[in-house]
A and B are shown apart, each in its own frame.
Chain A
Amino acid sequence: MENVIEVKSLAKIFGNQTALEDVNFHVKKGETFGFLGPSGSGKTTTIKILTGQLAQTSGDAKVFQTPTSSINKPAYRKRIGVITDNSGLYSRLSIYDNLKLYCDLYDVPTKRIQEVLQMVNLTDEPKKPISKLSKGMLQRVTLARAFLHEPDLLFLDEPTSALDPANSKHIHDGLRRLNEKGTTIFLTTHDMTEAESLCNRVAFLNRGKIQLLDEPKALRRQFSDASVTLELKDGREIIVTGDAKGADAIHQYMATGQVVSIHSNEPTLGDIFVEVTGRELV
């Protein structure tokens, strides 16, 4: 399948500080790719390079087979959507007026506004001024703006960081729908649950370097010792290894009717990140 993003030996140095070092990855068409890492790991720098807002120090970065230094053309801009933490809105204008501007800029009919407002659960007050919105609502309007033109490639930098679980779910559903329609999504987050639920593949970024890159399921399998935890009727919890000896033990506990529940001990992406990098995802 065609690669929408290709990054080879990418490096970025600010003064004497290395933000990215020998970063290599690609994103296939139709994929939702998660770029995971704690604050300051280089996620936003990567998005800025890929969207042509920042020049790399060395290495190659291509979007739609075009070097990112050349994607500042309307034809490419129409195919890309970008939401970063500092994507601004016009505070004196209403939600509707903000979105209408972008409908006109992207040549999208204004009836699309209602559809994107539904996607972000904001259909009640389209005429409300931006200055009167909460932080979470602002984030939802910003996302709605990125959804307007159904881009071929959508960059999202921490899209649900200010949202409550109910609205996060709404956004996740919207992103899945966009992805089903063919939008490739490049998502940065430090929310591992979000990454697990949305991403086909994830890369762990730590101090500017990719430490791991694979499908979430494959990573969990790779770092799993295949053990399970048995919860017994007497309240005890027993960890059983995933080998023949463990199988015998499980058989024994089950045969004697002592088992209340069995839980897999597969690690979460968060656990794996801590194991690989020695750092928490904050």
Chain B
Amino acid sequence: MTFSMKRVMAIFQKDMKDLSKNIYITSTLILPLFFAFFYGRMDNLTIDVHYMVINLVLAVVTSFVQCAIIAEEKEKNTLRGLMLSPATLPEILGGKSLVSFILTIGTILICTMLTDYEPVNLSLVALAIIISILFYIALGTLMGLLSRSVVEASVLIMPVIFIFGFSSMFQPFAEEYPILSVVDYLPSIQLIEVAAAVESGSGFADVVGNLAIIFVWVLVAMVATAIVYKKREMDE
């Protein structure tokens, strides 16, 4: 299979230009920034609070932006135009994902500055965040492909924001409701565990299990996305 970086960049540049004129989608960046600003005024923030903001960025910015730009392409029949062009699945989704990736990194950086978060081991935390971003991008793509319009995407993405953005809030109830113990395996919780372990001096070998769990989520989401994309190439 051929891979053209030129086509990836063409789709990326088009999406950046388009997104810069799309107030509806870009306004979602405000929510995590508001939380970061709010918590940033408090002293001695715990790792859970830092990662509540970061997980919110991943759910709201990464997933929603990706979901909305894919859903809009479907709504306006432009996705079919891309599918009928020489651009392949990795090129189309690569170009579109690059937009969400850059917006996510930018928002996380601003949020961490606002909350004054400085991890003990930056490279390990960055690795965990980057793997998490891949999961949320794949999830957003999947939701976008399943939506018929941006409005429908906005509704579909709500449970994602709720489950992944605020998953740490469910953990205290796991003893009372055992079913909630599955929350421990969510990528958002795994990310918090990596960050907490890093803060207490753990190295790569100590968190490789957590990273592997997040990576499994990435693989599952990517496979599901590829299957749905292939189905969307054809009418029924």
Contact = CB atoms under 8 A, between A and B. Distances in A.
A93 B17 contact: yes
B44 interface: no
Given A88-B76, A91-B76, A97-B14, A105 B86 contact: yes
A88 B82 CA distance: 10
Contact of A77 (B14, B17, B80, B86): B86
Contact of B14 (A55, A74, A82, A101): A101
A25 interface: no
Interface string B179-208: 000000000000000000000000000000
With a 10 A CB-CB cut-off, give which of A55, A78, A101, A107 has the most chain B CB atoms: A101
Contact of B235 (A54, A74, A78, A102): A54
A106 interface: yes
State the 3 A-B residue pairs at the shortest beta-carbon distance, nearest first.
A104-B10, A88-B77, A74-B86
B76 A72 contact: no
Given A74-B87, A77-B86, A101-B10, 16 more contacts: A48-B235, A53-B233, A53-B235, A72-B83, A75-B86, A87-B80, A88-B81, A90-B76, A90-B78, A97-B17, A104-B9, A105-B11, A105-B85, A105-B87, A106-B85, A107-B6
B234 A78 contact: no
Interface of A: 48, 51-55, 72, 74-75, 77-78, 80, 82, 86-93, 97, 100-102, 104-107, 145
B84 A105 contact: no
B27 to A, nearest CB: 15
B148 interface: no
Contacts of B17: 93, 97
Interface residues of B, number: 27
A102 B80 contact: no
A55 B235 CA distance: 8
Nearest to A86: B77
Nearest to B79: A88
A72 B9 CA distance: 21
B76 to A, nearest CB: 4
26 contacts: A51-B84, A53-B80, A53-B84, A55-B234, A72-B83, A74-B2, A77-B85, A78-B86, A86-B77, A87-B81, A88-B76, A88-B81, A90-B14, A90-B78, A91-B76, A92-B18, A101-B11, A102-B85, A104-B7, A104-B9, A105-B10, A105-B11, A106-B85, A107-B4, A107-B86, A145-B81
A55 B230 CA distance: 13
B88 interface: yes
Contacts of A104: 6-7, 9-10
A90 B86 contact: no
Nearest to A14: B236
B28 interface: no
A127 B18 CA distance: 14
Interface in B1-32: 2, 4, 6-7, 9-11, 14, 17-18, 21-22
Contacts, number: 72
Contacts of A80: 84
Contacts of A88: 76-78, 80-81
Interface string B110-134: 0000000000000000000000000
Contact of B86 (A53, A54, A106): A106
B14 A93 contact: yes
Given A74-B2, A104-B7, A53 B21 contact: no
B86 A86 contact: no
Contacts of B233: 52-53, 72
Interface in B21-69: 21-22
A92 B86 contact: no
B14 A92 contact: no
A60 to B, nearest CB: 17
Contacts of B6: 104, 107
A75 B11 CA distance: 19
Contacts of B85: 77, 102, 105-106
A106 B17 CA distance: 20
Nearest to B76: A88
Contacts of A107: 4, 6, 86
Contacts of B22: 92
Most central of A51, A72, A90 by chain B CB within 10 Å? A90
A72 B1 CA distance: 12
